[in-house]
Chains A and B, each alone.
Chain A
């Protein structure tokens, strides 16, 4: 499904990371893998260090800290927020929506649309598309898009598929109306037949958490996890990404008619270095134009990886200038989405720690 937007822009990106950094080597002993094989895994996937929330810290706590930082530094005015979006798979409660909780904590105006969206690795793209759609309304001039996930507590310590790469983080992206009428091209696709390629079996209404769902079981590859844990079908996800993402990006170029040489950076979701390098090669994109350094430095925090990648790799370059970005996300759902847009002259583009 294709989308076209005009007169909208990103005006700031703030990434909020946990202070606690955990090294791959410190968790190796938990895996059913020899030290030599663990080191091979580390090298192939680009694992090194990941940021993990402290026990009790929820994804909304990182959003709250980030919003307070923006208010305190005069980068955002509470009264200007017309919509508050919270894209996450780790909400505080089933009810109420986490966006409403944050709305109340800051005493935001009643003329404000709060919305929680359950999305993962394509959550930044889906959130941007939703923000642009809201901005078509006369009443909405500024959207605060929060991507946040603290999923590390859901990943088994003995799961070498997911544990070494998981990261916790949040990002706040300000999206607003603009006089610049350069076109934003976007697309999104879904395939619900792959809905369980990434999932947490227990803990929802279908299968509530019980002592039975907490029992650890071994899979064919020697990983131990319970039904309360996140599980990823690694082969299905790898095949899905390699099959669907390159044609999606080709389609984005056809749809927009833009010359691919005009793309300054490919800011893609960060599953691991192996997958990103394969994608770059398949797309014929120089690897240095598609940064793959977020998992090794911070971990994969699903929908937060693209803003983190932009903040970490481009920082002030996007405050002092403008660039054409191709952003893409792909994962749980299955969902895959890409956007081509000009980003720049930002008020802020930085990483803070909480």
Chain B
């Protein structure tokens, strides 16, 4: 989980990610950072998601759990 969160922190350009927040709560969250997440999931976790999937999670923790469970 830590590794994935560190990657999200880099994309969101923050020191620490609050996993209780949603992606859309972050100022850096936009179509470009969403694409960065898609690309990271594809290359590092061999998972493909749609933008609407990512937007659908209640918070970042739920997203991370789902990614790691696949």
List residues 242-266 of chain A with CB under 8 A from any CB of chain B. Answer: 242-243
Inter-chain contact total with CB atoms closer than 8 Å: 46
CB distance from B56 to the nearest CB of A (A): 12
How far is A241 from B38 in the complex, measured between Cα atoms in Å? 12
Given contacts A37-B30, A41-B32, A243-B48, contact A238 B43 (CB under 8 A): no
Given contacts A33-B30, A37-B30, A281-B43, contact A234 B50 (CB under 8 A): no
Q: For B50, give its contact among A44, A160, A235, A278 (CB under 8 Å).
A: A235
Most buried by A among B30, B31, B49: B31
Number of interface residues, chain B, beta carbon within 8 A: 15
Question: A282: CB under 8 A from chain B?
Answer: yes
A292-322 interface mask toward B, CB cutoff 8 Å, 1 = contact, 0 = none?
A: 0000000000000000000000000000000
Question: A40: CB under 8 A from chain B?
Answer: yes
Question: B58: CB under 8 A from chain A?
Answer: no
CB distance from B26 to the nearest CB of A (A): 13
List residues of chain B with CB within 8 A of the CB of A282: 43
B32 in contact with A37 (CB, 8 Å): yes
Q: For B31, give its contact among A161, A242, A243 (CB under 8 Å).
A: A161
Given contacts A243-B48, A278-B43, A282-B43, contact A235 B38 (CB under 8 A): yes
List residues of chain A with CB within 8 A of the CB of B50: 235-236, 239
CB distance from A37 to the nearest CB of B (A): 6
List residues 46-63 of chain B with CB under 8 A from any CB of chain A. Answer: 48-51, 55
Question: A1: CB under 8 A from chain B?
Answer: no
List residues 82-96 of chain A with CB under 8 A from any CB of chain B. Answer: none
List residues 114-143 of chain A with CB under 8 A from any CB of chain B. Answer: none
Nearest-neighbor residue (CB-CB) of A41 within chain B: B32
Given contacts A235-B50, A239-B48, A242-B48, contact A44 B32 (CB under 8 A): yes
A239 in contact with B38 (CB, 8 Å): yes
B32 in contact with A242 (CB, 8 Å): no
B39 in contact with A234 (CB, 8 Å): no
List residues of chain B with CB within 8 A of the CB of A278: 39, 42-43
List residues of chain A with CB within 8 A of the CB of B49: 235, 239
A216-246 interface mask toward B, CB cutoff 8 Å, 1 = contact, 0 = none?
A: 0000111000000000001110110011000
List residues 13-35 of chain B with CB under 8 A from any CB of chain A. Answer: 30-32, 34-35
B51 in contact with A235 (CB, 8 Å): yes
List residues of chain B with CB within 8 A of the CB of A242: 39, 42-43, 48
A238 in contact with B31 (CB, 8 Å): no
CB distance from A323 to the nearest CB of B (A): 29
A238 in contact with B30 (CB, 8 Å): no
List residues 157-175 of chain A with CB under 8 A from any CB of chain B. Answer: 160-161
List residues of chain B with CB within 8 A of the CB of A33: 30
List residues of chain A with CB within 8 A of the CB of B51: 220, 234-235
24 chain-A/chain-B pairs, Cβ below 8 angstroms: A37-B32, A40-B32, A41-B32, A44-B32, A44-B36, A160-B31, A220-B55, A221-B31, A222-B31, A234-B35, A234-B51, A235-B35, A235-B49, A235-B51, A238-B35, A238-B39, A239-B38, A239-B48, A242-B43, A242-B48, A243-B42, A243-B48, A278-B43, A281-B43
Apart from A33-B30, A41-B32, 7 more pairs, CB < 8 Å: A40-B32, A161-B31, A235-B34, A235-B38, A238-B39, A242-B42, A243-B42
- Interchain residue pairs A-B with the least CB separation, the first 9: A221-B31, A239-B48, A235-B51, A242-B42, A235-B50, A41-B32, A235-B38, A238-B38, A278-B39
Residues on B facing A (Cβ under 8 Å): 30-32, 34-36, 38-39, 42-43, 48-51, 55
